[in-house]
Amino acid sequence: MDVNVKQIEGIWTLGYSLDRHTTRSTPVGYNEYGHMQFDTERPEAGEALFQLKYRSDYSQVPIIGQQLYSSFGSAFASASLVVPMPASTSRSRQPVTEIAKDLAQRMRVPCVENLLVKTGITPPMKDIESRAEKVAALVGAFNVYDVLGEGIFDVLIVDDLFDTGSSLEAATTVLRGYRKIRNVYVSTVTRKR
């Protein structure tokens, strides 16, 4: 996979994204339901993520997992566990969780799905104006469960898309409040900017 890796800045220790989400999106007209349709061009990572999330093509999971490992494995070598970002959309099989499991296996560390859990309901982020208000709403929706053994851990959060960084900032804030977490790293498949 050809990627355009970029470091993503935030309150986390270190973060990277594989590539942009889209390279071009042109409106082509309305469908029979009155919804605007787009001709969208995506880089390889964006297309793989699109196929996984919106076409349920789970054959993309090992492709994405391998690219995350190849691109970032050494940067996150101190991570002793991988945590999937809690999903905002309910699905029987969560794409981000599948990617996190694959990456954790390649890194030879556990994927801990029940460490960071979204337990609260948040209003749509598009309805919240300021970044600080978004982060506060999200922080209140996440809980950390004491599922780790003894020790201090470096954790890698895996997410699909980096947009404003509000959800990753909230997750990082909550994880840093847990006495067993030292460093929080983040890795996303794509980014909007």
Residue 186 is part of a domain; what is its CATH number? 3.40.50
Q: How would you class 178 by CB atoms within 10 Å of its CB: exposed for 0-12, middle for 13-18, buried for 19 or more? A: middle
**Total residues belonging to the chain:** 193
For the whole model, what pTM was predicted? 0.90
Task: Give how many domains the chain has, as a whole number.
Answer: 1
Quote the pLDDT of residue 90. Answer: 75
Assess if residue 103 is contained within a domain: yes
Residue in 74, 81, 102, 100 with CA at minimum distance from that of residue 5? 74
* Side chain identity, residue 170: A
Quote the pLDDT of residue 119. Answer: 83
Quote the pLDDT of residue 126. Answer: 64
Quote the pLDDT of residue 57. Answer: 97
Quote the pLDDT of residue 139. Answer: 81
CB-based burial, 114-148: b 16+ in 10 Å, e otherwise: ebbebeeebeebeebeeeeebbebbbebbebeeeb
Assess if residue 1 is contained within a domain: no
* Side chain identity, residue 68: L
Q: Could you tell me which residues come within 8 angstroms of residue 119 by beta carbon, excluding any fewer than 6 positions away?
A: 141, 142, 143
Assess if residue 56 is contained within a domain: yes
Question: How far is it, in rounded angstroms, from Cα 100 to Cα 98?
Answer: 5
Assess if residue 153 is contained within a domain: yes
Residue 43 tokens, joined: 């880089």
How far from chain centre, in Å, is Cα 87? Answer: 9
The tens place of each residue's pLDDT in the chain, 193 residues long, gives 999 999 999 999 999 999 999 999 889 999 999 999 999 999 999 999 999 999 999 999 999 999 999 999 999 999 999 999 998 777 888 999 999 999 999 999 999 999 999 887 776 666 777 777 877 878 878 889 988 889 999 999 999 999 888 889 999 999 999 999 999 999 999 999 6
Region of 124 please: left (phi>0), alpha (psi -120 to 50) or beta: beta
* Side chain identity, residue 146: D
Assess if residue 139 is contained within a domain: yes
Expressed as residue numbers, the domain containing 129 is 6-191
